[in-house]
Structure 1
Amino acid sequence: MTQAPTQSGVRLSRRGVERLDLLLLTVEALDLNGGEAMLWTSHQLGLQAQFPNRVELWKRRCHSPLRRITRRDQLDSTDAESLIALVCAMADRLYPMLHQLLSSREPEQLTQQRWELLRERLGDLIEERMNLRRGAVLRLLDPASNAPTHHRLVSTLGLVAGPGGIDRLRAFLLDPTP
């Protein structure tokens, strides 16, 4: 497992919050019981105070401006660090699946089937939870342009798994480039 979050005072930009929420959605798309697994993992990390139940976890995730229902206030730095630790712990847990998706040694047909299943699940979650009037959300749903984004999300999860993942994810979320 990864470490519990440190109190470094991270303030995520709007883009950072969007990226974090998309990573959490990707985790849910990869794990059929993603919501429950996130809650269980948060308790394993000692984050019961931050996420005592699914509703509190959902409230923290609703700071993304791409959501249908969004919270206008800024994501608290403690909540941001807790979500970062949660994403890294979930990436550790899902690493075998991430490795299969990213591996060039797997049979091409099997890899394509896995990617198609991920695209389908992630698309369903985006349609269900995101504001479909936003251009960024429509681009995420566009089959012609979403493959690189999905690959980037899975690659990011693969990179933040393991030791030092929290620092790598924090750097990725704080990076201002699109």
Structure 2
Amino acid sequence: MTQSVPLTPNPDNDSSSGNNFSPVILNTLPDIVLPPTRGMLRVQQQLDLLLLAIEALKLGASEEMLATCQHLGLQGIIHNRVDLWRLRCTNPWRKCYNRETLSPEQIKTLILLTNTCAKYLLVPLTQLLLAVQQMRDKDIPLENNFRLSEYFTRFRSHFTSRMNPRRAKVSVYLASPQELNQLALSLLEELLFCSGTRGIERLSVRLFDGEVD
């Protein structure tokens, strides 16, 4: 049975009180027009999966995400790990799916967080994707590369423990290690794509392309 968790502000966070609060840095991001419900579910799912890939890519990434939020002045929206968890549980694939819809400010916050973390991980992202190309050129299984194998293992562990096996697509991934590895690789490519100078704009376009009428 899917658990439901209310997406409410942290009562201990005074800076988040009031409906009109928005971190100043979010004003530098392009305005977001929310797509219909189905499109929003896909956007929320993709943002969570990108953060899942970041966690699989680097140990301790979840703590660094919180530190990054503090550094960017986003603590009014993500004050602690519970706040971040609530936002990420809007991914309908999650076991603890909370059935809420993210606000434009919350989406901008996750986009900015993803972009910033991807920039920090530019070197390992580049190295892993280069290794993928080299292994494929030599027709060697990707799992034979230690760093790729380590990433796949962590991603599989995170995905298995957090996603709902009753979801049709989740069950497909859980039944096929190759399909799950391909998902993990596609997320690495997406993170590299959004780590550049105009990464935020690229990620926003990629997320909402075809979702807004």
After superposition, the C-alpha distances for 1:9-53 in whole angstroms (9 at most, x for unaligned) are 342621111111100100111111011010001111110111111
Partner residue of 1:129?
Answer: 162
Q: Could you list the runs of 5+ residues in structure 1 that have no partner in the other structure? A: none
Q: Amino acid of the residue matched to residue 81 of structure 2?
A: R
Distance 1:106 1:70, change over 3 A: closer
TM-score normalized with structure 1 length: 0.89
Q: Amino acid of the residue matched to residue 207 of structure 2?
A: L
Partner residue of 2:90?
Answer: 63
Do residues 53 (structure 1) and 80 (structure 2) align? yes
Partner residue of 1:31?
Answer: 58
| Aligned pair partner of 2:202 in 146, 152, 168 | 168
Counterparts of 1:13-162 in structure 2, within 5 Å, are: 13-103=40-130, 108=135, 112-141=145-174, 142-162=176-196
Aligned to 2:178, the other structure's residue is in SS state coil
* Bigger relative contact order, structure 1 or 2 (CA pairs below 8 A, ≥6 apart): 1
After superposition, the C-alpha distances for 1:115-148 in whole angstroms (9 at most, x for unaligned) are 2111110110011111111122123332132232
Question: Structure 1: which 4+ aligned runs deviate by more than 6 Å?
Answer: none
Count of matched residue positions in the alignment of Structure 1 and Structure 2: 175
Q: Amino acid of the residue matched to residue 194 of structure 2?
A: V
TM-score normalized with structure 2 length: 0.75
Bigger Cα Rg = 2
Superposition RMSD on alpha carbons, in Å? Answer: 2.3
2:96 and 2:124 mapped to 1: Cα distance?
30
Identity of counterpart residues, as a percentage?
34
Q: Is this contact kept in 1: 2:45–2:93, CA < 8 A?
A: yes
Do residues 11 (structure 1) and 34 (structure 2) align? yes
1:83 and 1:162 mapped to 2: Cα distance?
17
